[in-house]
Every structure is written in C-alpha cells, then in structure tokens.
C-alpha cells in the first residue's frame, strides 16, 4: 500500500515536471523561431535578446529534466540511504566498531567505574591476562558484582565443537575452561568477605560470540569459525540500544533458574 502511494506520487511529480518543462521548451522554440524572422531591421539588439532568451529556455529545460528526473533522485536516494544507515546504527546503540578489540577498546576506562560486570566467553585467557589488575580491583569493591558464564566443560558436544573451532584437543579445551573458572574463583579470595559478589555458571553450548557488560556499556565481539587466526569485529554499544538490550536479555536468560546455564560449584574439578 505504501509502496503504491510512493509510486503514484513519484509518477505525478514526473508528469508535472515534464509538462512544465514542455511548456517552457515550446516558449523557447517560439522565441528562437521569431528571432530568425527578417522583420528585425533596425532592432537587431532586440533580436539578439529574444534569440538568447529562446536558447536559454531550451537549454534550461534540458538541464532541468536531467537534474529533476535523474541526478537529483539519485543524489537524494544516496543521502537517504546514508541517513537510514545512521539511524539504524543509532537505534542499535553502536558507539564504536573495531577489528582490534584488545588494543582499540578503552578497557581501562570501562573498568574504572564499573559496579556490575557480566562476562560471557569461551575462556578469555588473553583478555584476563591483559585486565588482571582491573579485575582484581573490581573484585575488591564491596558494592560490585561480577557474573561469569563459561562453556560447560562436562558437556561433550560443547567441548567437541570448541575443540574443533580452536584446534585444541578436548583435554586442552577443558583445561582452558577450568583455568578460567579457577581464575574467577580466586578473585573471591582477593575480594574476601568485604569484596564483590562473584558468581560463575556453566552453559552447555559453544559460544558464537563473547560479550562484556560494564553497567551501561557493553562490548560485543564475534568468534571466528576458521582455524586461522584473523581479526574479528567488535562493537561497543550503550544502554538504550537494541544490541545492549539483546546482550542484557541473553545473559539474563542464561542464568535464570529455568535457563540452560548451571551454577559452578566449588566441588567441581
């Protein structure tokens, strides 16, 4: 229905433009015809004026039709396309995109004021090493909370998929997940009774992406499904955008009582 209306208005504008241009062109041709007559003796200056006006009208019509029916439409379509893309990015809440998320994202700034940190990744060895000091500082804050979801090392299908993706043996993959679990458990000893609340869950599914939610800002990064090491895109998104809402809901669905993730217990080895 809307498409039909747009088509109707576009055709009406085209018809109106062509009719006006045709009228002007006819006037220009008439003036050129008159200027070619031989009754201008003694009024040659006026003959030149009429001839120039007629030629100007004909040329103007050609330029106007070209601009109105093709160039301007193409220009407006390009502008509107960019506006739509910009609006969609704004609605998604994207504030930055990078393919070097270890270096280009200001992790120090994100950690500086965070009180609620939610993490979902395969094991995050490099990320934990790079941000070890900041993680311990958050863990030492009594009013802070750290929640972590890791792949379930006891789920054979999950371990098999991640082993194939990262080109590790199943035993090595389990070690890496358990190492991440141990790391966050040890943050509890850093925090002590007066430190942050730290909770860990295991999800029986292979992560297709990773995210880190720092209060009102989240970092969302993809995993490569190739065995080759290659840059992967990362997005910094803010609260109020559709991507941030997706991350918040996704994490909440994982850890709720009827969700897939199970709490990691201290007895697990």
Please report the beta strands in the chain, taking only residues with DSSP state E, as ranges in sequence order: 94-98, 116-120, 145-151, 197-203, 209-214, 217-222, 234-238, 262-263
Only one residue has tokens 């609620």, namely 116
User: What DSSP character marks residue 160?
Assistant: H
What CA–CA distances, in Å, run from 69 to 15, 18, 74?
Answer: 10, 9, 9
Q: What is the pLDDT of residue 146?
A: 96
> Is position 31 within any domain?
yes
Q: What is the pLDDT of residue 33?
A: 64
Q: What is the pLDDT of residue 239?
A: 93
Q: What is the pLDDT of residue 3?
A: 46
CATH number of the domain at 110, please: 3.30.870.10
**200 three-class SS:** strand
Task: Select from 92, 113, 132 the last residue of a domain.
Answer: 92
d(CA 172, CA 229): 18
> Is position 154 within any domain?
yes
Distance of CA 216 to the CA centre of its chain: 17
76 and 129 share one domain: no
139 and 189 share one domain: yes
Domain hosting 65: range is 2-92
Q: What is the pLDDT of residue 2?
A: 40
> Is position 219 within any domain?
yes
Task: Decide if 162 contacts 173 (C-beta within 8 A).
Answer: yes
User: For residue 263, how many other CB atoms are within 10 A of its CB?
Assistant: 10
> Is position 199 within any domain?
yes
Q: What is the pLDDT of residue 123?
A: 95
22 and 102 share one domain: no
Only one residue has tokens 């009754």, namely 39
Q: What is the pLDDT of residue 67?
A: 54
161 and 221 share one domain: yes
d(CA 215, CA 118): 9
81 and 154 share one domain: no
107 and 202 share one domain: yes
d(CA 214, CA 118): 7
With CA atoms as reference, report the closest residue to 165 among 123, 128, 136. Answer: 123
pTM: 0.68
Residue 73 token pair: 């439409």
Task: Select from 92, 114, 130 the last residue of a domain.
Answer: 92
**96 three-class SS:** strand
Q: What is the pLDDT of residue 8?
A: 45
212 and 160 share one domain: yes
Task: Select from 40, 74, 92 the last residue of a domain.
Answer: 92
Residues 6+ apart with CB under 8 A from 85: none
With CA atoms as reference, report the closest residue to 123 among 206, 54, 31. Answer: 206
> Is position 268 within any domain?
no
Number of domains comprising the chain: 2
135 and 59 share one domain: no
As averages over each run of 10 residues, the pLDDT of the chain (269 residues) reads 46 59 64 64 62 63 57 55 63 84 88 96 94 94 94 96 91 96 87 82 94 95 74 89 93 92 74
**Residue 119: Cβ-neighbour burial (10 angstroms; 0-12, 13-18, 19+):** buried
214 and 244 share one domain: yes
What CA–CA distances, in Å, run from 86 to 4, 186, 220?
Answer: 26, 44, 19
> Is position 269 within any domain?
no
55 and 174 share one domain: no
> Is position 107 within any domain?
yes
> Is position 62 within any domain?
yes
Residue 90 token pair: 């704004």
d(CA 17, CA 14): 5
Only one residue has tokens 């199970």, namely 262
138 and 221 share one domain: yes
Task: Decide if 149 contacts 254 (C-beta within 8 A).
Answer: yes
250 and 117 share one domain: yes
Q: What is the pLDDT of residue 1?
A: 45
């Amino acid at each position: 229905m809307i498409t039909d209306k747009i088509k109707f208005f576009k055709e009406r504008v085209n018809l109106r433009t062509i009719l006006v241009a045709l009228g002007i062109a006819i006037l220009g041709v008439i003036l050129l015809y008159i200027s070619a007559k031989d009754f201008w003796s003694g009024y040659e200056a006026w003959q030149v004026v009429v001839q120039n006006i007629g030629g100007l009208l004909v040329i103007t019509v050609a330029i106007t039709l070209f601009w109105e029916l093709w160039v301007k439409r193409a220009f407006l379509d390009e502008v509107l396309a960019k506006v739509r893309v910009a609006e969609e990015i704004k609605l998604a809440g994207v504030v930055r995109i990078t393919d070097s998320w270890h270096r280009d994202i200001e992790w120090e700034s994100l950690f500086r004021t965070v009180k609620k940190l939610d993490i979902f990744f395969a094991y995050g060895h490099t990320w934990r090493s790079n941000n070890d000091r900041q993680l311990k500082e958050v863990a030492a804050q009594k009013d802070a909370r750290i929640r972590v979801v890791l792949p379930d090392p006891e789920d054979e299908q999950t371990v098999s998929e991640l082993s194939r993706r990262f080109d590790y043996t199943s035993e090595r993959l389990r070690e890496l997940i358990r190492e991440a679990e141990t790391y966050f458990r040890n943050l509890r000893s850093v925090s002590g009774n007066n430190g942050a609340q730290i909770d860990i869950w295991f999800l029986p599914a292979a992560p297709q992406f990773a995210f880190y939610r720092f209060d009102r800002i989240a970092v969302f990064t993809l995993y490569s499904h190739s065995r080759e090491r290659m840059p992967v895109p990362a997005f910094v998104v803010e609260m109020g955008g559709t991507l941030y809402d997706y991350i918040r809901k996704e994490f909440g669905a994982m850890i709720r009582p009827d969700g897939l993730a199970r709490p990691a217990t201290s007895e697990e080895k």
